[in-house]
């Protein structure tokens, strides 16, 4: 079983990366790969001159090879992060569609009170063209991240932990 995690935040201390690490622990036995979406900005001229950058092709190959994928994105101004959208746009330019029928779960850790609910809606729309097998719920929207994830990277609130466990079980069930 291969699980790919994609963080919409590049920050080393990112709460979304911590949430992904906890998600992977709850997913159960799997080879876990953390995607690197530190990619050049999408530029049609660059694509024409140089083709698909190796880092984009690597990401597309990781998506294609994964049995399941979890994406966790912060909410920036009521939307998912720009780096995540950039990665989605780049991957849509490779041959074939690595996302097709792929089991995917979305979640969010955000500082605000909605826990990234608006980013979640927007991300679902952004991913609609790719034809994934999206897990519909439960929603994992961790609000006030700085209070909810401790220094060791674990959620401190049982309510969120329960949601995360259920979401990972639903993702695994889609693979099985
Ligand atoms: C440019 C920017 C915009 C933000 N906009 C929102 C927002 O709309 N809603 C929200 O809940 N938090 C917002 N935040 C706070 C982020 O949710 C918070 O910094 C979060 O921890 C970032 O995720 P990370 O810890 O994984 O890097 C914003 C932060 C930045 C830098």
Report pLDDT for 69.
98
Above 80 in pLDDT, residue 151? no
Residue 174: its pLDDT value, please? 96
Burial (CB count within 10 angstroms: exposed 0-12, middle 13-18, buried 19+), residue 175: middle
Domain that residue 128 falls in: 2-175
Atom of ligand 1 nearest to the CA of 73: 26
**Count of the separate structural domains present in the chain:** 1
Residue 91: CATH number of its domain? 3.40.50.360
pLDDT in tens, 153-173: 788 888 999 999 999 999 999
Structure tokens at 72: 């966790």
Which atom of ligand 1 lies closest to the CA of 74?
A: 23
Question: What is the pLDDT averaged over residues 5-18?
Answer: 96
Tell me which residue has its CA closest to atom 23 in ligand 1: 74
What would the pLDDT profile of 72-123 be if each residue is shown by its tens digit? 999 999 999 999 999 999 999 999 999 999 999 999 999 999 999 999 999 9
Distance 48 CA to ligand 1 centre (A): 34
Measure the CA–CA gap between 174 and 77, rounded to whole angstroms: 32
pLDDT in tens, 36-62: 999 999 999 999 999 999 999 999 999
């Amino acid at each position: 079983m291969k699980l790919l995690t994609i963080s919409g935040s590049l920050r080393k201390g990112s709460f979304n990366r911590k949430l992904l690490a906890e998600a992977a622990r709850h997913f159960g036995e799997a080879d876990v790969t953390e995607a690197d979406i530190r990619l050049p900005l999408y530029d049609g001229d660059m694509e024409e001159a140089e083709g698909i950058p190796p880092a984009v092709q690597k990401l597309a190959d990781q998506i294609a090879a994964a049995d399941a994928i979890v994406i966790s994105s912060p909410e920036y101004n009521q939307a998912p992060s720009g780096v995540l959208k950039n990665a989605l746009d780049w991957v849509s330019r490779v041959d074939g569609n690595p996302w097709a029928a792929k089991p995917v779960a979305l979640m969010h850790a955000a500082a605000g009170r909605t826990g990234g609910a608006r980013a979640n809606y927007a991300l679902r729309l952004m991913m609609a063209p790719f034809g994934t097998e999206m897990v519909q719920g439960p929603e994992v929207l961790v609000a006030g991240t700085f209070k909810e994830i401790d220094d060791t990277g674990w959620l401190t609130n049982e309510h969120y932990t329960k949601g995360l466990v259920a979401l990972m079980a639903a993702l695994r069930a889609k693979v099985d």
